[in-house]
């Protein structure tokens, strides 16, 4: 192997890459035509583990081992009063009702909770403990994973009255640091479109639950326009 493509992946990272990539490849095999990004990410990880070389790490520069946070922002207007919308979100055990990647959220104290989730490309659930770091009743909730979590993550939601005086405007921000060094950074960049779509759908589910009390099925129906937007920074 030439010096240009000298190994830049540690043995431990190669093991992690192969484990995650293999699981992702197996999961995406039957849906390859519908989830090409997932298959691409899986192939990248398997190549990384076998070759011991990561082009993304080379491009980023191996000296910088800090993974920049990836932020996903969503804006939405909900046709319900602000205090009602806030109360539903603040009761954290409600989150899995519209965030389908969450298996459960257990509220252990007023500020501490335990989360279990399944993320795109991962088999099995990952779990972590979190704490609410700021709570302004009716207006703002901020939380973060406790140190030592598998995936460092945090989030905040701001609630404000809409111009009509009866609806609520929310701005939700989800932030996470990919795991496993440069392998996490590379896979996160490849999976961003999936994460963006997932968050957008789940915030839209929140609107449906608050306004209709349930998440209606749209199978066989034309897509309606959503009065919200999501972006990745």
Render pLDDT for 179-223 as a digit per residue (tens, 0 to 9).
Answer: 555 455 555 555 566 667 778 888 999 999 999 987 765 544 444
Q: Is 183 within 8 Å of 48 (Cβ atoms)?
A: yes
Q: What is the distance between the alpha carbons of residues 226 and 22, in angstroms, rounded to a whole number?
A: 36
pLDDT band per the 50, 70, 90 thresholds, residue 100: confident
Provide the percentage of residues in the chain whose pLDDT is more than 70.
Answer: 52
Q: pLDDT of 24-36, one tens digit each?
A: 666 555 555 555 6
* Cβ-proximal residues to 86 (8 Å cutoff; 6+ apart), any chain: 137, 138, 139, 141, 159
Query: Residue range 132-152: average pLDDT?
Result: 91
d(Cα 86, Cα 226) in Å, to the nearest integer? 21
Task: Please report the pLDDT score of residue 107 as a whole number.
Answer: 97
The predicted model gives 142-155 an average pLDDT of: 87
pLDDT for the residue numbered 220: 47
Q: What pLDDT, on the 0 to 100 scale, is given for residue 214?
A: 77
pLDDT of residue 169: 98
Domains contained in the chain, CATH given: 3-60 (no CATH), 70-232 (3.30.530.20)
| Contact call for residues 118 and 96 (beta carbons, < 8 A) | no
Range name among 88-97, 123-132, 186-195, 202-211 with the lowest pLDDT average: 186-195
Residues 107-111, mean pLDDT to the nearest whole number: 96
pLDDT of residue 45: 64
Of 151-165, 203-217, 218-232, least confident by mean pLDDT is 218-232
- The dihedral through the CA atoms of 104, 108, 109, 113 has a sign that is negative
How confident is the model at residue 55, as a pLDDT? 54
* Cβ neighbours, 10 Å, residue 117: 20
């Amino acid at each position: 192997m030439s010096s240009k493509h000298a190994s830049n992946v540690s043995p431990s990272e190669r093991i992690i890459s192969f484990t995650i990539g293999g699981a992702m490849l197996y999961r995406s095999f039957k849906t390859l035509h519908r989830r090409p990004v997932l298959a691409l990410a899986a192939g990248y990880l398997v190549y990384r583990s076998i070759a011991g070389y990561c082009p993304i790490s080379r491009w980023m520069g191996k000296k910088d081992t800090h993974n920049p946070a990836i932020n996903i922002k969503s804006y939405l207007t909900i046709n319900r009063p602000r205090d009602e919308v806030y109360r539903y979100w603040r009761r954290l055990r409600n989150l899995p009702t519209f965030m389908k990647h969450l298996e459960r959220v257990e509220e252990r104290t007023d500020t501490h909770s335990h989360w279990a989730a399944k993320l795109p490309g991962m088999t099995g659930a990952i779990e972590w403990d979190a704490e609410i770091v700021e709570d302004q009743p009716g207006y703002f909730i901020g939380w973060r994973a406790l140190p030592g979590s598998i995936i460092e993550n945090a989030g905040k939601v701001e609630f404000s009255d809409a111009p009509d005086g009866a609806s609520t405007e929310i701005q939700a921000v989800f932030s996470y640091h990919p795991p496993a060094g440069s392998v996490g950074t590379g896979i996160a960049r490849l999976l961003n479109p999936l994460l963006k779509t997932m968050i957008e759908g789940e915030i839209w589910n929140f609107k449906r639950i608050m306004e209709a009390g349930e998440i209606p099925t749209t199978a066989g129906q034309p897509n309606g326009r959503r009065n919200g937007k999501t972006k990745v920074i």
